[in-house]
């Protein structure tokens, strides 16, 4: 069965303290891996799509990487405004379904 597991569940960082979030997955034919940011009371906001192992994408302080079994979201020198829940999702070979992890709740303290 297709599964997505994110770790840690919660992460507290000091402003400027770099770290990484993990998303491990098992899927029968990965078509794409997606990272989203979700703020309280809001819907998820799209960040990145990764399609193949070795691919990397960057946006401001965020960098997403992909291997055959997991993806990392690296946060470099985070700021308090980076505080949010980060969700990972995989799209299976049928294109129909997206399987979401439970998310990592990031709190960056000034």
Q: Which is nearer to another protein, 49 or 83 (CB)?
A: 49
Q: Which two tokens stand for residue 31?
A: 């078509």
Q: Work out how close the CB of 31 gets to another protein at its nearest, in angstroms, rounded to a whole number.
A: 8
The bridge status of strand 32-38 relative to strand 84-91 is: antiparallel
Q: Which is nearer to another protein, 13 or 89 (CB)?
A: 89
Residues 100, 33 contacting (CB under 8 angstroms): no
For another protein, the binding residues (CB under 8 A) are: 4, 6, 31, 34, 36, 41-46, 49, 87, 89, 95-103
Give strand pairing partners of 71: 23, 66
Q: Work out how close the CB of 101 gets to another protein at its nearest, in angstroms, rounded to a whole number.
A: 5
Q: Work out how close the CB of 84 gets to another protein at its nearest, in angstroms, rounded to a whole number.
A: 14
Q: How far is CA 55 from the centre of its chain?
A: 14
Q: Which is nearer to another protein, 15 or 46 (CB)?
A: 46
- Name residue, tokens 């985070």: 78
Q: Work out how close the CB of 33 gets to another protein at its nearest, in angstroms, rounded to a whole number.
A: 11
Intra-chain end-to-end CA distance of the chain, in Å: 41
């Amino acid at each position: 069965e297709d599964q997505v597991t994110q770790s840690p569940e919660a992460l507290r960082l000091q402003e400027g303290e770099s770290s990484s979030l993990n998303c491990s997955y098992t899927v029968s034919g990965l078509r794409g891996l997606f990272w989203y940011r979700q703020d309280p009371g809001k819907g998820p906001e799209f960040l990145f799509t990764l399609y193949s192992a070795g691919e990397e994408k960057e946006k401001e302080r965020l960098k997403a990487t992909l291997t055959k079994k997991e993806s990392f979201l690296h946060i470099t020198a985070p700021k308090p405004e980076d505080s949010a829940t980060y969700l990972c999702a995989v799209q299976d070979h049928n294109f129909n379904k997206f399987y979401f992890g439970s998310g990592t709740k990031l709190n960056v303290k000034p």
